[in-house]
């Protein structure tokens, strides 16, 4: 999956504590788009030894939230809260890295809608998600 909006270093922000703890990183961000990546490691695995579904949900949620909050101005940060999150689990990751890409699909002044896809670095589709978000502030 190509990264259509590589992260502008001026817009890079420190990962929030949970994202930093599991190793999620924002690697692409632009109008209505965000990309989140995470190396697959043993500590994010479930009892079957594959990444836990909660990790998939967190990555999809984070990618969609960032996709709706892009301003292009490091001094004008926009935040959002998740109102609704739906995840469809499709397959197990086989690669070494998870990649979530989120896209804002609509909305207005106070809320927005988004969708996201989660793949591994082999290109296999692992999960999809949709969400509704409210702008904070």
Q: What is the pLDDT of residues 13-48, one digit of tens each?
A: 888 999 999 999 999 999 999 999 999 999 999 999
128: pLDDT confidence band, cut at 50, 70 and 90?
very high
* DSSP 8-state symbol, 117: E
Pairing between strand 97-107 and 111-120? antiparallel
What three-state secondary structure class fits 19?
Answer: helix
Distance separating alpha carbons of residues 48 and 123, to the nearest angstrom: 21
* DSSP 8-state symbol, 67: H
Question: 103 and 115 in contact (C-beta within 8 Å)?
Answer: yes
Distance separating alpha carbons of residues 98 and 54, to the nearest angstrom: 13
pLDDT in tens, 94-124: 999 999 999 999 999 999 999 999 999 999 9
What's 9-136's CATH class?
alpha beta
What does pTM read for this prediction? 0.95
Instruction: Report CA dihedral (11, 17, 57, 52) to the nearest 10 degrees.
Output: 130
Domain ranges of the chain: 9-136
| Angstrom distances, CA of residue 64 to CA of 28, 43, 73, 94 | 12, 24, 19, 23
pLDDT, average across residues 76-101: 97
């Amino acid at each position: 999956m190509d990264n259509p909006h590589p992260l502008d270093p001026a817009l890079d922000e420190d990962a929030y504590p949970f994202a930093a703890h599991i190793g999620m990183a924002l690697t692409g961000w632009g109008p209505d788009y965000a990309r989140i990546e995470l190396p697959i490691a043993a500590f994010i695995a479930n009892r079957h030894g594959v990444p836990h579904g909660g990790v998939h949900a967190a990555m999809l949620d984070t990618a969609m939230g960032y996709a709706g909050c892009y301003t292009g101005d490091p001094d004008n940060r926009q935040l959002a809260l998740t109102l609704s999150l739906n995840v469809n689990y499709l397959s197990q990751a086989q690669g070494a890295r998870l990649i979530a890409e989120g896209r804002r699909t609509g909305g207005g002044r106070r809320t927005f809608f988004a969708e996201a896809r989660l793949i591994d670095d082999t290109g296999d589709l692992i999960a999809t998600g949709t969400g509704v978000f409210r702008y904070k502030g």
